Amino acid sequence: MSRDALEFSQSDRGFLEPHLPPQAVSAPASDLPFTTLTFATSLDSSLALSPGARTVLSGPQSKAMTHYLRSRHDGILIGVGTAVADDPGLNCRIAGVGGYGQEGLSGQPRPVVIDPTGRWEFSEDSKLFQLCREGRGLAPWIITAVENPSSQKQALLDKYGGRFMTSKMLRTHTGGHQVDWRTLFETLKSNGLESVMVEGGGQIINSLLSPQYMPLLDSVIVTIAPTWLGQGGVVVSPARRFDEGGNAMSAARLKNVKWYPFGEDVVLCGQVIVADAQKA
Ligand SMILES: NC(=O)c1ccc[n+]([C@@H]2O[C@H](COP(=O)([O-])OP(=O)(O)OC[C@H]3O[C@@H](n4cnc5c(N)ncnc54)[C@H](O)[C@@H]3O)[C@@H](O)[C@H]2O)c1
Ligand SMILES: Nc1nc(=O)c(N)c(NC[C@H](O)[C@H](O)[C@H](O)COP(=O)(O)O)[nH]1
């Protein structure tokens, strides 16, 4: 068994099962993948000390939980801010998956990176491609608005079995890009991803927690670490909502909530409450 493989107990798996994509029973036909929003946060709702900083929040048990979640999803989606800040591996290191005690790549999720302008300068040295070489992870699919991405990057993706997927994106009033999440998730499903976990970062999560897109989320699993990162961090805080009378209301709330302690952290599982008017 690989020395860096992580263990996650059967009893802990049992707790999480109701919040995960269905395993054996065939789910009703849908154009959408089962989508889980999952991230680790501080007590002041920060994901990281600053946008460019890789910040460890999860303790060993909840880190193993995140890797178990990775084994239970076909895809793992992040924004380019996270790719640039973290040089992430985005593979699954649970004992018994491909590359960690088993031949092949079974149980390894497909990394999906949202990079509208092609600013992720990845290379052979990026952790993700190192893992591909070691037979411990899949190459990424990069969702971009760039019509002709760099041929050097294209060649690297071709070499490891990744790809660019060009998607039309709207521009926001601040000059940013806005992917149509429904179309994107449908595309991921039609390319074979039956389930997707979204890991962050802040901009991606805040976007998905807008009224238009939150109906796309099937499950929410949040690790809360007993620490305050302080002001200036990358914060999960979706845009404020107002009712018909113009009064401020909460942006989103969970139902069917369960809390599980994992070491010093607590893991919150639930489903976003969606009003009838939000259902497409
Ligand atoms: N604690 C955790 O669980 C966790 C998880 C992920 C990332 N992080 C941290 O979060 C930080 C990065 O977060 P961030 O908010 O700066 O970056 P991000 O990962 O959310 O990426 C932001 C970029 O993604 C693209 N993007 C985001 N939303 C989009 C949308 N709706 N449509 C089209 N493109 C979109 C844009 O190019 C944007 O610049 C890093 O420090 C990372 O370490 C922490
Ligand atoms: N669950 C969780 N706890 C954390 O404390 C933390 N910082 C992240 N961050 C998620 C983000 O997506 C990171 O980029 C990947 O966690 C890096 O992934 P690797 O370990 O390199 O595979 N996620």
Inter-residue contact 91 to 70 (CB < 8 Å): yes
User: Is the minimum distance from the CB of 58 to ligand 2 under 6 angstroms?
Assistant: yes
Alpha carbons 242 and 279: distance in angstroms, whole number? 18
Q: What is the ipTM metric for this complex? A: 0.98
Question: pLDDT digit string (tens) for 50-108?
Answer: 999 999 999 999 999 999 999 999 999 999 999 999 999 999 999 999 999 999 999 99
- Res. 146: pLDDT tops 80: yes
Q: Which residue has the higher pLDDT, 24 or 200?
A: 200
pLDDT digits (tens, 9 = 90+) for 235-260: 999 999 999 999 999 999 999 999 99
What pLDDT does residue 276 have?
76
Q: Is the distance from CB of 210 to CB of 29 less than 8 angstroms?
A: no
Task: Label residue 1 by pLDDT band (50, 70, 90).
Answer: low
Average pLDDT, the chain: 95
Per-residue pLDDT at 27: 65
pLDDT band at 277 (very low <50, low <70, confident <90, very high): confident
> Which of 58, 114, 128, 132 to mutate to test ligand 2, by most ligand atoms within 8 A of the CB atom?
58
Mean pLDDT value of segment 177-194: 97
Residue 3 above 80 pLDDT?
Answer: no
Residues 91, 108: contact at Cβ < 8 Å? yes
Q: What are the backbone dihedrals phi and psi of residue 147, each rounded to the nearest 5 degrees, phi first?
A: -75, -35
How many angstroms separate the alpha carbon of residue 119 from the centre of ligand 2? 20
Tell whether ligand 1 has an atom less than 6 A from the beta carbon of residue 130: no
What is the identity of the amino acid at 241?
R
Q: What is the DSSP letter of 113?
A: E
- Which tens digits make up the pLDDT trace of 120-130? 999 999 999 99
pLDDT greater at residue 280 or residue 74: 74
* pLDDT band at residue 268 under the 50/70/90 scheme: very high
25 confidence band (pLDDT: 50, 70, 90): low
Atom of ligand 1 at shortest range from CA of 115: 37
How many angstroms separate the Cα of 82 from the Cα of each of 42, 51, 144, 145?
A: 17, 8, 15, 18
Percent of the chain with pLDDT over 90: 92
Q: How much distance in Å is there from the Cα of 161 to the middle of ligand 2?
A: 23
The 3-state DSSP class for residue 19 equals helix
| Banded model confidence at residue 23, pLDDT cuts 50, 70, 90 | confident
Determine how many CB atoms are found less than 10 A away from the CB of residue 205: 24
Q: Whose CA is nearest to atom 43 of ligand 1?
A: 54
- CA contacts within 13 A on the Cβ side of 4: 8
pLDDT over 70 (residue 131): yes
Residue 90 Cβ inside 6 Å of ligand 1? The answer reads no
Tell me the mean pLDDT in the region 20-25. 84
Whether 279 has a pLDDT exceeding 80, the answer reads: no
37, β-bridge pairs: 198, 220
Region 40-46 average pLDDT: 98
Q: How close is the Cα of 25 to the center of ligand 1, in Å? A: 33
